């Protein structure tokens, strides 16, 4: 584990050094003049933002927006490298998971003077982008939540109706009706279901649930809905916590139960997970798994999968009596060394405007941050015949649901480097969950520096 810490710390040191010395600034990607450079990672969103850029350029004669799109993994590697080399873009799509590290490294430009109103966006989205100094470093862009995708054909064959999937509950003792459903959806090579006598967990043909990996530090599309609905919180504070709580007994009981589903044969094994890809979609589409927890950003992928009749259901009700789902909000950030800072401010202000967000919403790819943008997206999905209520109701109607955010703290890269292998060890090697206490102590030692 110490090797991971050194790597993360070394990267941080190099980045700080480059910022202090202005390394390579003459070759910065931000072109200055009349062009604003903008990076994003989602190819599906590219047409929507090209449309926004066209309108922006018409309203700002002489200004041009150059959009660069790259894949998720390459995006963060190249962005970090650009900060080190001094070739960063003027504006980039930021992720709350990365925000703590970027804020700590002081590579972001404060946006307080853009005149953005927190109340103009879905609750909580704008507040997440304030640093420990109270200043804003991201303009709300869009949001997503997590729900349960399921293969309708396999669910029907199992005799489970939509109403049942919409009313599942769970607990860490026996798994509740959720585990019963997942067990029944699991089928071995002899056609025996997971809840039937003679089930062979070593030769499973259809898993009740696809693998989403070990979940790393946040468990967004794996264990987080369960941990949160059990009343657990990542850190001691909602934002900028100073202590993580992976050593908490409630958390460890959730993790023990969740990955215990793999030991029982109901959850696809860790070996079926491919880092950097999304195997859950393929598993559900191919019939290898009946269900998968996944984010709203994957709606188009599931509904566009050839031969798949897919449905969605909300996360199950937990011991707290409520459902829980992570609400992740992306933002647009301006780099501190942006070449065209004034143009970047105008572009980010426009990206955060209701006009642009409604434009993006009409493409039916993501849920924009403003209520009107969200409504436009819901309408666009409806035209495609897609019901997205499992994703939107926790945000727009909180009667039986709660939302929560990624943990936002200092040393985010170090936290990830420590907890990731520890969680993988629990999933892949059935390591005792009590070992997470030691990892948690190491994490908190770093945060206390």
CATH 3.40.50.10470 fits 146-326+411-447, yes or no: no
Q: Report whether pLDDT(426) > 60.
A: yes
Rounded mean pLDDT of the chain? 92
Q: Report whether pLDDT(13) > 50.
A: no
Pairing of strands 323-326, 401-404: parallel
Q: What pLDDT is recorded for position 277?
A: 66
Rounded mean pLDDT of 415-434? 97
Q: Are 232 and 248 in contact (CB under 8 A)?
A: yes
For the segment(s) 2-143+329-388, the CATH number from 3.40.190.10, 3.40.50.300, 1.10.260.40, 3.40.190.100 is 3.40.190.10
Query: Rounded distance, CA 120 to CA 139, Å?
Result: 11
DSSP calls for 103-144: HHHT-B---GGG---GGGSSTTTTGGGB-TTS-B--EEEEEE
Residue-wise pLDDT for 349-386, tens only, equals 999 999 999 999 999 999 999 999 999 999 999 999 99
* ∠ Cα 365 299 225 (to 5°): 120
Q: Which of 256, 157, 160, 275 is nearest to 211 (CA)?
A: 275
Q: Are 352 and 263 in contact (CB under 8 A)?
A: no
- Domain segments of the chain: what residues? 2-143+329-388, 146-326+411-447
Q: Is the dihedral of CA 251, 252, 254, 259 positive or negative?
A: positive
Q: Which of 434, 313, 413 is nearest to 13 (CA)?
A: 413
Q: What pLDDT is recorded for position 355?
A: 98
Residue-wise pLDDT for 305-317, tens only, equals 999 999 999 999 9
Could you say which DSSP state residue 174 is in? T
92-116 burial: b if 16+ Cβ within 10 Å, else e: bbbbbbbbbbbbbbebbbebeeeeb
R_g (Cα) of the chain, nearest Å = 22
Q: How many percent of the chain have pLDDT more than 90? A: 86
Residues 6+ apart with CB under 8 A from 323: 225, 229, 314, 315, 316, 317, 394, 400, 401, 402
Q: What pLDDT is recorded for position 11?
A: 47
Residue-wise pLDDT for 256-287, tens only, equals 999 999 999 999 999 999 876 678 999 999 99
Tokens matching residue 122: 């879905």
* ∠ Cα 100 222 383 (to 5°): 95
Tokens 């970047």, located at residue: 344
Q: Report whether pLDDT(33) > 70.
A: yes
Rounded mean pLDDT of 146-172? 97
From edge to edge, which strands make up the β-sheet containing 35-40?
64-69, 35-40, 91-94, 328-334, 139-144, 367-368
With bands split at pLDDT 50, 70 and 90, how would you rate the model's confidence at 212? very high
H-state helical runs in 186-296: 224-229, 249-264, 279-286
Rounded mean pLDDT of 133-143? 96
Pairing of strands 64-69, 35-40: parallel
Q: Report whether pLDDT(250) > 70.
A: yes
Residue-wise pLDDT for 430-446, tens only, equals 999 999 999 999 999 99
Rounded mean pLDDT of 419-432? 97
Q: Report whether pLDDT(421) > 90.
A: yes
Query: Rounded distance, CA 51 to CA 40, Å?
Result: 14
Q: Report whether pLDDT(403) > 60.
A: yes
DSSP calls for 402-431: EEE-----S-HHHHHHHHHHHHHHHHHH--
pTM of the model: 0.90
Q: Hey, which residues does 293 pair with through a beta bridge? A: 148
Q: Which of 423, 399, 426, 387 is nearest to 147 (CA)?
A: 387
């Amino acid at each position: 584990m110490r090797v991971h810490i050194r790597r993360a710390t070394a990267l941080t040191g190099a980045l700080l050094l480059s910022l202090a010395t202005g390394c390579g600034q003459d070759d910065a990607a931000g072109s200055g003049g009349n062009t604003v450079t903008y990076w994003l990672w989602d190819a599906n969103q590219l047409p929507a933002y090209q449309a926004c850029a066209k309108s922006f350029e018409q309203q700002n004669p002489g200004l041009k927006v150059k959009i660069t799109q790259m894949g998720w993994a390459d995006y963060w590697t190249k962005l970090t490298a650009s900060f080190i080399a001094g070739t960063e873009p003027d504006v980039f799509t930021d992720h709350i998971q990365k925000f703590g590290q970027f804020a700590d490294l002081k590579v972001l430009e404060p946006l307080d003077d853009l005149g953005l109103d927190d109340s103009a966006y879905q609750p909580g989205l704008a507040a997440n982008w304030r640093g420990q100094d109270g200043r804003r470093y991201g303009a709300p862009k869009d949001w997503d939540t997590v729900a349960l995708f399921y293969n309708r054909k396999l669910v029907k064959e199992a005799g489970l109706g939509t109403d049942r999937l919409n009313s599942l509950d769970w607990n860490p003792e026996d798994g509740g009706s959720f585990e019963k459903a997942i067990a029944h959806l699991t089928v071995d090579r002899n056609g025996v279901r997971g809840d039937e006598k003679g089930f062979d967990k070593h030769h499973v043909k259809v898993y009740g649930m696809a693998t989403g990996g070990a979940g790393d530090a946040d468990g967004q599309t794996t264990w987080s809905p369960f941990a949160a609905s059990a009343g657990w919180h990542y850190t001691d504070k909602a934002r900028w916590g100073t202590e993580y709580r992976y050593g908490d007994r409630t958390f460890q009981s959730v993790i023990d139960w969740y990955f215990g589903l793999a030991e029982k044969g109901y959850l696809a094994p860790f070996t079926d997970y491919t880092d950097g890809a999304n195997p859950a979609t393929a598993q559900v589409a191919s019939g290898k798994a009946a269900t998968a927890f996944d984010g709203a950003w994957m709606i188009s992928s599931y509904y566009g999968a050839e031969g798949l009749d897919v449905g969605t259901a909300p996360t199950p009700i937990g011991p707290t009596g409520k459902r829980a789902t992570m609400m992740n909000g992306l933002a647009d950030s301006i780099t501190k060394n942006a070449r065209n800072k004034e143009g970047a401010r105008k572009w980010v202000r426009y990206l955060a405007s209701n006009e642009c967000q409604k434009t993006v919403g009409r493409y039916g790819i993501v849920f924009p941050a403003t209520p009107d943008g969200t409504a436009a997206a819901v309408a666009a999905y409806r035209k495609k015949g897609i019901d997205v209520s499992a994703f939107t109701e926790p945000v727009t109607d909180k009667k039986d649901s709660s939302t929560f955010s990624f943990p936002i703290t200092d040393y985010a890269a170090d936290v990830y480097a420590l907890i990731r292998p520890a969680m993988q060890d629990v999933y892949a090697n059935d390591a005792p969950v009590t070992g997470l206490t030691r990892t948690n102590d190491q994490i908190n030692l770093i945060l206390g520096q």
